[in-house]
Structure 1
């Protein structure tokens, strides 16, 4: 009997099994690498969790976001578990022992006014959050002003460089609605997608009314009047950036404010340090001190400052139900993730199971 023959056959079988295992491992590794490249450099999927962009985008919309539009941003925290949120059930999915500086590959365009942009929340640059830029909460808003622009809001109307900017076609705001006291039909409100924000009395309400529903709603017999809710000009709102009484700004009356541009130099004084200290200190990593009439940057007296990055002004289309640049200021370029391109899925969690999917929004371009 040829024992070498049986021995050789057994070895061949083991070799075949090993090669199949390796094929599976190679396929898995290849899939992970390709998916990571696509997600990290080309496109990512995001969900809309709130109503700040209604009626352009709806809560429950799922979006594809293009990272190549503005150039893929390299990770600040490169050691992380792929395809997960930064925190899962309270546990970090990343290791912040290694942190890299800001770097972005070339893109096919720059951020333009009216683009709908996904970015990291600037408010979380505050030291007590202790989060790297790419670990901060993702937000989605419309870009209203770009570097070098002067923004002003007058009685809720936006002006850029002195010119009136039209609201998005489906933008929403709040109205004071006076009725004759008869109950409003909940089904009618739901069909018109009107949100009762606050009931002030038996006859008066604050409501968020979509543009498409305004005329029909106004025509109902029990509606006496509808007036836009606009904060009084010259009234200081401490919640509004820069949170300084020197600037009597509020939600509907704001500015004028110049958007910093990379390489732009500003004079430093009481007003400019109040407006731009956050940008100079938190985003551009400088030590800023005010001692009497002197302003010190990195322990040296300074009369001017030259910006290292571009800055943008972002606002939600649902103007009275959006936490945006009016609350936490400008968005630095290193916080920009990408441009929202298409709604690939949309689900209404408040609807019945058979009506939950919004079929008309599937594969809908975003603008």
Structure 2
């Protein structure tokens, strides 16, 4: 091979290797893309929203372990988080934190209270006027240390802590940060949602 072409090829391979390492580091420690596959967070998040998830805010996960280092802050009430689904750790779920460790959470006829106070939740959606015992009435439940109680904003159509329990802190992947793309198919790109912060 021509030495000039050989040098050029090596430079390209070197640049590719650096890019792959950077991509791995960014995805592992800084930010990760996440797509909304279901309607459990309507109307806050729509099916087809693509999010960036801040992975370092709650601390950096050491790869292939549950160990977390250098947390900037603790997960807060009302944070929208991505986490390993407790019933199938190969799947990631996205929900809103309702209760942090020590909180007492209760729901009566769809009305949610935390530590005895009724929550004002402008983000929630109800699609079913009927009542179901487990879905619309539960508690009081005290959130244990190191765990979080989470619920979807689309309360009547969310499979969440009401059904499968708490999220372990070390299973939280990160905080939903920003919508970078949104569509309901190629003919329906939702430009108005692109760049919107997740709240």
Alignment of 1:157-172 (within 5 A): 157-167=111-121, 169-172=122-125
> Which of 92, 102, 113 does residue 66 from structure 2 map onto?
102
8 Å Cα contact 1:311-1:330 kept in structure 2: yes
What's the offset of the Cα at 1:230? 2.2
Q: Does the CA contact (< 8 Å) of 1:174 and 1:229 recur in 2? A: no
Q: Offset of 1:14 from its aligned partner?
A: 4.0
Q: CA offsets, 1:23-49, max 9 Å, x none?
A: 011100000011111111000111000
1:358 to 170, 179, 190: 190
CA distance in 2, matches of 1:326, 1:16: 65
Q: Which region of structure 1 is more displaced relative to structure 2, 49-58 or 147-156?
A: 147-156
Decide whether the 8 Å contact of 2:56 with 2:72 is kept in 1: yes
1:119 aligns with 2:83: yes
For 2:140, the equivalent position in structure 1 comes to 256
Normalised TM-score (structure 1): 0.52
- Shift in Å at residue 170 of structure 1? 3.4
Moved over 6 A (4+): none
Partner of 2:103: 149
Please list every run of 5 or more consecutive structure 1 residues that lacks an aligned counterpart in the other structure.
Answer: 1-12, 77-100, 125-132, 176-227, 236-249, 262-309
Query: Could you tell me the TM-score, scaled by structure 2's length?
Result: 0.95
Q: Where do 1:208-227 residues align within 5 Å?
A: none
CA distance in 2, matches of 1:57, 1:148: 28
In structure 2, distance between residues paired with 1:364 and 1:153: 31
- Render the CA deviation track for 1:310-341: whole Å, top value 9, x for unaligned: 00011000001001111110011121000001
Aligned partners of 1:72 and 1:104 also within 8 Å: yes
Q: What is the correspondence of 1:1-367 to structure 2 with a 5 Å cutoff?
A: 14-76=2-64, 101-124=65-88, 133=89, 136-167=90-121, 169-175=122-128, 228-231=129-132, 235=133, 250-261=134-145, 310-349=146-185, 353=187, 356-367=188-199
Question: 1:74 Cα deviation (Å)?
Answer: 2.2
SS of residue matched to 1:36: helix
Give 1:251 shift: 0.8
What CA distance in whole angstroms lies between the structure 1 residues aligned with 2:55 and 2:66? 15
Larger RCO of the pair (alpha carbons < 8 Å, separation 6+): 2
Matched residue SS, 1:114: coil
Q: CA RMSD in A?
A: 1.5
Partner Cα separation in structure 2 for residue 170 and residue 71 of structure 1: 27
Question: Unpaired runs of 5+ in structure 2?
Answer: none
Distance apart, 1:105 and its partner CA: 2.0
Structure whose CA Rg is larger: 1
